[in-house]
Amino acid sequence: MRIAIIGCGYVGTAAARYWREKLGWTVTATTTRPERLPELEAIADRALVVHSSDLQALTAAVQDQQAVLLSVGAPHFSAYEQTYLQSAKQLIAALKSAPTVRQLLYTGSYAVYGDRDGAWVDESSALKPANRNAEILTETEQVLRLGAGECDVCLLRLGGIYGPERDLLDIFGWAAGTTLPGDGSDYSNWIHLEDIVGALTFALEHRLAGVFNLVGDDPLTRRALLEHLFHLHNLDVPNWDGTVAALPRPYNARVSNAKLKATGYSLCRPHI
């Protein structure tokens, strides 16, 4: 397998390592920052500086590949359009001169479902992005799905990512013993790095096409998540102040992973 990872950050690096070291695949990894090249050269066969606005560099990166993983991540909230939508459009343009590529994978987000008041959603649910950035992610999926021609497209809608060096305690530890607005009844869905690499590998090995949610088995309310986490680490659970309006809840849905499981993929870490 020859695979190019466009946007080799937290997820891309773990995938590159696994594919090259464990499976012997030939990996091309890209970054926008020349200073990251030595790091990527250590885990990939080919490391390239590619900003997706540079169509020539992007086309060179995907040349002669069998598969491409688009795993770009926005450096800040105001960069979604350039990072996701423009990258998708440019990649579709680049693939037009890369006929060897037969599968395109994308690590998207379950943010496209929006605030469903905690209801269950699956891949057949209507998309109701709750803000402009989630709309951009929705448009990004469309661009990839509709533009890739003969190439199989596998869109994965990830939960919040956790794993080594991105521990849930690093993300939420600040809340121990504090008072938070609302009642914490909004749901969130999470996925461990190991399962992101696992599911991407499975999708490549089984040539999956279509949309798949990639989340753990148990959506947890924010309250249940923090209580579980803080009990585990002997920290004070937060208090909830129901008299103060809760913050917007753009991810408040329980996301089903049944479709991915039905393909035969078995989660390594189904529970937080």
Ligand X SMILES: NC(=O)c1ccc[n+]([C@@H]2O[C@H](COP(=O)([O-])OP(=O)(O)OC[C@H]3O[C@@H](n4cnc5c(N)ncnc54)[C@H](OP(=O)(O)O)[C@@H]3O)[C@@H](O)[C@H]2O)c1
Q: Which residues bind ligand X (CB under 6 A)?
A: 7-12, 31-33, 36, 50-52, 71-73, 82-83, 87, 107, 109, 158, 160-161
Partners of 177 in beta bridges: none
140 by Cβ neighbours in 10 Å (0-12 / 13-18 / 19+) ranks as: buried
Identify the H or E element spanning 212. Answer: strand 210-214
**Minimum gap (Å) between residue 175 Cβ and ligand X:** 17
Which CB, 5 or 240, lies closer to ligand X?
A: 5
**Minimum gap (Å) between residue 87 Cβ and ligand X:** 5
**Minimum gap (Å) between residue 68 Cβ and ligand X:** 12
DSSP string covering 61-72: HHTT-SEEEE--
Partners of 180 in beta bridges: 240
**Minimum gap (Å) between residue 55 Cβ and ligand X:** 11
**Minimum gap (Å) between residue 230 Cβ and ligand X:** 20
d(CA 12, CA 197): 9
Which CB, 73 or 147, lies closer to ligand X?
A: 73
Residue nearest to ligand X (CB): 9
| SS3 label, residue 83 | helix
| SS3 label, residue 12 | helix
Which CB, 107 or 240, lies closer to ligand X?
A: 107
Which CB, 142 or 239, lies closer to ligand X?
A: 142
DSSP 138: H
Which CB, 71 or 103, lies closer to ligand X?
A: 71
